[in-house]
A and B are shown apart, each in its own frame.
Chain A
Amino acid sequence: MPQPVLEWHRVSISWTNCYNEVVDESLRPRPLYEQLFANLEEMGAHVFAERTMTAITSAYLEGFTFNIEPGQYRLIPMDFLPRIIDSKTFRVISEGLQQRARVLNSFLNDVYEGERTIVPDEVIYGSKYFYPDLVGVKPRNGVYIHVYGADLLFDGKEFFVIEDNLRVPSGVAYQLKMRELGRRFFPELRNGYRIAVYEPWKSLKQAMLDASWVRDPFMVLLSDGPYDSAYFEHVFLAEKLGIPLVEGNDLRIDDRGYVVAKIPGEGEVQVDVIYRRVEDLDIFVPGLSKAYIEGKVALVNAWGTGVADDKLVYHYLPQLIREYDGRDPILPQPPTYSPLDPRDLMIIERRLPELVVKIREGYGGLGTVILKDYRGNIKRKVAEQVLEDIRRNPEHYVLQETIDFSTTLLHSDTSPLLFRDAPVDLRVYVYYPANGPVVPPGGLSRYARYGRITNNTSGGGVKETWVVE
């Protein structure tokens, strides 16, 4: 269906060096988006704008907010033009992430069995997420990473994995909420598309059941409470999973060393599986780590997965994949440099202004610096400062080649009748039941509102992702 070129005055393109996924250079919608623009045309730009405002108000009233600090919260920025990925492309993503999940899990098995790996010992034992107490402690079926969130970028040709999140990856509820809002407020946009069903909680629940040491387990989601920035997600997922949402005070370790939940009027119930959305176990439930080590409770994710989440381990992942899987990585990743390696340090010193600087154990985009996006004197000063920090604390940093990743179209903040481009990434969730990793078809598309950092913690917004036939 040939679509007219979108009028220049309705579209503002500022990332001219990047591949725009929605329109080509002459502002003609790309094939996957032709039907969407036809649907939008039929719906009418004013109706789309009005519904956007209604959808945003509803989302706010329904608690789709991000906590900044106690008592302070903000609406999660959202955009209702979906991001569309064809199923063939997603199949490659899926196979690539299954490969990574299996390899990362095998690596964790080796680390906690005390086996040598190709990752230098100082990287493993120097990680703040390596727990010596866990050596010899195996979770059920040897599965450590029941939930894994991979961050991907598209450069117009292929998807790159830029981070593996293995501790408490968040954001899946945002995609689910966006899908719900999309269905409620913009059903016409879906006309003519066969969108893959996205029900990740089913895979998560299976992974939780398989993690249990007992049959018919009593399972809970452990949250640190309404002050957590992702509390909306904790409530949402507990509801979807059909399990109680508990906080540290709801649980205790009984005389036998088992975890029990206090149910007023009913007594105490033994808890068999905890989907934990907290990192520090004993702070929330004193004695929980001991109960885990003794096999009296299963944790999802297992305790100790942070070692593989380390950005220095990511540096070795292509080698780990060849070692464990015997094949090349299905999904590429940008070359990564460690200042601890003298050869890498030489590259870093020579090419710093072209690289992305990341804090080794950072998250949420905090501490990430894309030097390429700075100009003139500021760029020079920032690079000098960063280099000084790297030389002083080389173990705290990793550096990556910059990918000029793709952009999407958003309706503008100033007028929903206008569109503008914005960098976009994709977080895909992998779940790991006993029979191997599964990748539900979909994920969270996050766009940057300022610069190129897309993380919600850094002010990024969210879009619904469609995987279509």
Chain B
Amino acid sequence: MQAVPVPSKLYRVYWVGRYLERVDSIARALLAAVSEKKETGADSGFEKLALSLGIEYHGLHSFLEKILYDKDFPSSILHAARMIRMNMLGLGIERLLREANMLVLLAESRIDYNDMDALAKHLEDILSAVNGLGRAVENELTVPPSPPETVLREQLLHQQQ
């Protein structure tokens, strides 16, 4: 009976999906900016990303602080990770909660903003955690596949008898 999909649970699944997408897209956009910075030394990738998110750009460090760790900023990775965790808690599935907590732990870990390699690795780790969580969601929440056609036909015959 616990598996009864009451609306509040479905609502949480919806928000887990939205926040997962948010972490994924921010991390990928940051990775592209890191790559540009490594190639050209310019901050323009970060500046464009800041502009698109409505953040005033006052330098790389303050931007990274906001986009990675500002717990009250809805587009930050930490905020989104914590919201995933909170919604996951409501689903009551231990494996998913464990994966969500791993993502939060990663999102909370600090890095040196001057080290672009460390930043790239941090973002790749976050993407990997997002993928892991996505796979776990798929395994735990997917409806079991329908029985094969032959089984269904036999069942139908059985019912007709």
Contacts and interface: CB of A to CB of B under 8 A. Distances in A.
Interface of A: 60-63, 71, 225-226, 231-232, 235, 238-239, 242-247, 249-250, 261-265
A62 B7 contact: no
Given A62-B94, A250-B7, 8 more contacts: A225-B90, A226-B87, A232-B89, A243-B1, A246-B8, A247-B6, A247-B8, A264-B7
A63 B101 contact: yes
Contact of A246 (B6, B94, B101): B6
20 contacts: A61-B97, A61-B98, A62-B101, A63-B101, A71-B83, A225-B8, A225-B90, A226-B86, A226-B87, A238-B2, A238-B92, A242-B1, A243-B1, A244-B6, A246-B8, A249-B8, A250-B7, A261-B4, A262-B6, A265-B5
Interface in B72-105: 79, 82-83, 86-87, 89-90, 92, 94, 97-98, 101-102
Nearest to A263: B4
Given A71-B71, A264-B7, A242 B98 contact: no
A230 to B, nearest CB: 12
B53 interface: no
B39 to A, nearest CB: 37
Contacts of B42: none
B118 interface: no
B10 interface: yes
Contacts of B71: 71
Contacts of B102: 61
A235 B92 contact: yes
B7 A249 contact: yes
Nearest to B71: A71
Contacts of A239: 2, 92
Contacts of B101: 60-63
A244 B7 CA distance: 11
Contacts of A226: 86-87, 89-90
Nearest to B87: A226
A225 B86 CA distance: 10
A62 B98 contact: yes
A235 B7 contact: no
A177 B86 CA distance: 19
Contacts of B89: 63, 226, 231-232, 235
Contacts, number: 66
Main secondary structure of the interface of A (DSSP, over half): mixed
Nearest to B4: A244
A250 B7 CA distance: 6
A333 to B, nearest CB: 37
Given A231-B89, A245-B92, A63 B8 contact: no
B97 A62 contact: yes
A246 B6 CA distance: 7
B51 to A, nearest CB: 27
Given A225-B8, A226-B87, A264-B10, A243 B2 contact: yes
B18 to A, nearest CB: 16
A243 B3 CA distance: 9
A71 to B, nearest CB: 5
Contacts of A263: 4-6
Nearest to B98: A61
A263 B5 CA distance: 6
A428 B50 CA distance: 55
- Of B4, B87, B97, most buried by chain A (CB within 10 Å of CB) is B4
A61 B102 CA distance: 7
A250 B6 contact: yes
Contacts of A246: 6, 8
A208 to B, nearest CB: 13
Given A61-B97, A61-B98, A63-B101, A261 B92 contact: no
B94 A63 contact: yes
A357 to B, nearest CB: 36
Nearest to A250: B6
Contact of A262 (B2, B7, B87, B94): B7
A264 B5 contact: yes
A-B pairs, 4 with minimum CB distance: A235-B92, A250-B6, A247-B8, A244-B4
A226 B91 CA distance: 10
A68 to B, nearest CB: 13
B150 to A, nearest CB: 27
Given A71-B82, A235-B92, A239-B92, A63 B97 contact: yes
Interface in B59-80: 71, 79
B86 A71 contact: yes
A262 B8 CA distance: 10
- Of A62, A226, A246, A263, most buried by chain B (CB within 10 Å of CB) is A226
Nearest to A238: B2
A247 B1 CA distance: 16
Contacts of A249: 7-8
Contacts of A238: 2, 92
B85 to A, nearest CB: 8
A244 B2 contact: yes
Contacts of B87: 226
Nearest to B79: A71
A91 to B, nearest CB: 35
B90 to A, nearest CB: 5
- Of B7, B94, B97, B101, most buried by chain A (CB within 10 Å of CB) is B7
